[in-house]
A = this chain, B = another copy of it.
Amino acid sequence: MVSEVPAGLPGRVRVVGTGLVGTSVGLALTRLGVEVSLHDPSPSAMALARDLGAGRLATPWDAPPDLVVVAAPPDVVADVIRRELAAHPGAVVTDVASVKSVVLRDLAASGADLRRYVGGHPLAGRERSGPVAARDDLFDGRPWVLTPAQRTDPEALNLVRSVATALGATVSTMGAAEHDEAVAVVSHVPQVAASLVAARLRDVPERAVALAGQGLRDVTRIAASDPGLWTQILAGNAPAVSRTLHALRADLEEVLRAVDALAADDHAGGAPGARAAVAGLVAGGNEGQARIPGKHGTAPTAYALVRVLVPDRPGELARLLQDVGRAGVNLEDLRLEHSQGRPRAVAEIAVVPAAAATLLAALTEHGWTVHG
């Protein structure tokens, strides 16, 4: 198998931790012809990963690996890395933990050989976890941040970069601290906010929850995530999460003061500045939201939306998208909006603005009820 491995990739990789990410790494590397050995403290998780095709089980008689990928929970990851560095003195060791500073600090404190360690974080989590949720394309087009330490050997960095690139990820390098600040804002604090909003739904009557719309569904989707994992992530990145949460809290205090003033004002026309404060928050949200990159990592594009009524029967959506394809129009994005209590959905099709008129005409001709 080793002869088939693409240039620049390691011939033998040891994966420690066969959850969602570790198993996905194993699946993807095996597909590329790399020899993968698997290890996990849970024999059943390890066997399942093997049965899924992520590699073979590690044994004490294995030939030394070129690379060790540590995909252990954040709480124990530094310990596992230290052990793997010691056990495999010829190997580069990387990890996939979503927090980086604390791991690096613990490793440095333990006197580990940092020349052979390359911190890494593929941003490829899901609400689901475990080897069953693993996919060999999990990293396809996802960001994968590498956080080399000052002492990290450039060759070690190159090896890990080759692997992440071969797995389809978009690789960038930054310092551990910069990484942690970034994910606090784009991932960890959004998780906290989603949980805070969802937690409010526990105490309201059924009749109130029945008024939920797509907005609430979107805001709270990630609130379904695993409490155990997220406690480790938030604890591991506590300093950066704290800074961002304090900033968010300051904004919240301002809105709360404004809303309280408006509530107390009782239409007396007073509460000066309160409305401006509320409008300022929503406008600030507009600005921040507009910075989020769109599809394919490019800047967000203003797509034109074409809305089509789709009967909720097998094959109808297929027939629609076939007609879209026949019109020669590329669908940039698709959102299905289901209606409550009615067997009909609205498909919102995003296309480049220049294609919208063509699409509208073509779909109308095919008998679809279309709204531009």
Bound CA span A161–B356, Å: 37
Bound CA span A207–B150, Å: 20
Binds B, one of A40-48, A62-70, A83-91, A245-253: A245-253
- Are B267 and A227 in contact (CB-based, < 8 A)? no
Closest to A295 in B: B338
One of B196, B223, B260, B274 near A248 (C-beta < 8 A) = B196
In the complex, chain B residues whose CB is within 8 Å of the CB of A185:
200-201, 204, 208
One of B172, B198, B292, B324 near A216 (C-beta < 8 A) = B292
The proximity string for A residues 159-192 relative to B, scoring 1 for CB distances below 8 Å and 0 otherwise, is: 0000000001010101000100111011101111
In the complex, chain B residues whose CB is within 8 Å of the CB of A238:
259-260, 262-263, 265
Q: Which of A329-349 contact B (CB under 8 A)?
A: 329-331, 333-334, 336, 338-344, 346
The proximity string for A residues 228-266 relative to B, scoring 1 for CB distances below 8 Å and 0 otherwise, is: 101100110011011011111101110110011011010
> Does A115 interact with chain B (Cβ within 8 Å)?
no
Bound CA span A220–B197, Å: 13
Bound CA span A224–B229, Å: 30
> What size tier do the contact residues of chain A reach?
35 or more
Number of copies of this chain in the oligomer?
A: 2
In the complex, chain B residues whose CB is within 8 Å of the CB of A225:
282, 286
> Does A56 interact with chain B (Cβ within 8 Å)?
no
Contacts A140-B339, A211-B182 given; indicate if A284 touches B202 (C-beta within 8 A). yes
The proximity string for A residues 97-134 relative to B, scoring 1 for CB distances below 8 Å and 0 otherwise, is: 00000100010000000000000000101000000000
